[in-house]
Every structure is written in structure tokens, then in C-alpha cells.
Amino acid sequence: MRADPYHATRRFGLGRRGAEPLPDDPRQWLSDQLNRRDPALDVPVSSIADALRTQQEFEMGLSAGKTGMRGLAGLFRDECAAALTTAIRTTVPVTERLVWLWTNHFTISGRAGGNVFGFAADYIKTAIRPHATGRIVDLLRAAILHPAML
């Protein structure tokens, strides 16, 4: 029995975009997705050092740059918008769906205080995204040892 291509794109990816063609072979499409390098790993995001610098500038009243006077909250909003753009434009929707799943599963909490909001983009890029399609033990280790989780 042949797998349903429409079901495969919804179930394992982020769904079909507009007039995007459905895969001819859903099983091969899924395999290709899981074995392809995630292009979002090449997109620069705010590092922990950037977050700390932004917060320091905000506290000193110096941040008139790209985040304005918004501090870490502004940086976090910018990173959320970038994450949505990545999800919309990705060429590897299966990987992107797994990144969102594991980011939700290994959630960091802003209620803990500190600079967690500023660490979110770095957490996703360095702890979640590189391991989303790999071994769970590597993902777990990277997630629980990242400063945002600690």
C-alpha cells in the first residue's frame, strides 16, 4: 500500500505551502528530510554574549541600537519573529517540526528570572537544532547542560 503524500506532509512536516507539489514518494521524502542538513544552522542568531550585552546596555540606558530601549524582551520578540520566518520558509519542514517539538519538550522558563529570554535563540540553535534528528542522548545532554536550562 502506498503512503498518502498529503497526509505525510501534514503529519511529519509543517503541511503543504500554497501550490507546493506533494512528494511523489512520501517515504523517500521523509528519509531525505531527516538526512538533509538544516539550513537554519547557518542563520546567525543572538548569542548569550549578545543577550548579556543587550541587558547591560538596557540597564545602563545605552541601548538605542537595534533593540531600542526594549532590552531582553525586545531581543526575545525579534528572535520569535525570526523563528516564525524560518518555519515558513524552511526547505526541511520535517526537521523544523522536530525542532519545535523538542524546544517545547525541553522548555526554558522565563519565570526563573535572570537572562533566560535572551538565551532562547542560542539555546535552540546550539542545543536543540543540531540534535533534532540525531540521537536522543545527545539532544538531552545538550539541552540540560545549556545555560538557559541551568
Please state, in angstroms and as integers, the Cα–Cα distance from residue 46 to each residue in 5, 53, 54, 114, following that order: 37, 10, 10, 16
In tens, the pLDDT along 85-120 reads 999 999 999 999 999 999 999 998 877 666 677 888
pTM above 0.85, yes or no: no
Q: What does the block give as the cell for 134?
A: 540525531
The position carrying cell 540521537 is 135
- Count CB neighbours of 49 within 10 A: 10
- Give the contacts of 41 (CB within 8 A, at least 6 positions apart): 125, 129, 130
Please state, in angstroms and as integers, the Cα–Cα distance from residue 96 to each residue in 39, 51, 70, 71, 84, following that order: 10, 24, 28, 28, 10
Query: Dihedral through CA 123, CA 127, CA 128, CA 133, nearest 10?
Result: 160
- Give the contacts of 37 (CB within 8 A, at least 6 positions apart): none
Q: Is it the case that residue 47 has pLDDT exceeding 50?
A: yes
Q: Is it the case that residue 65 has pLDDT exceeding 80?
A: no
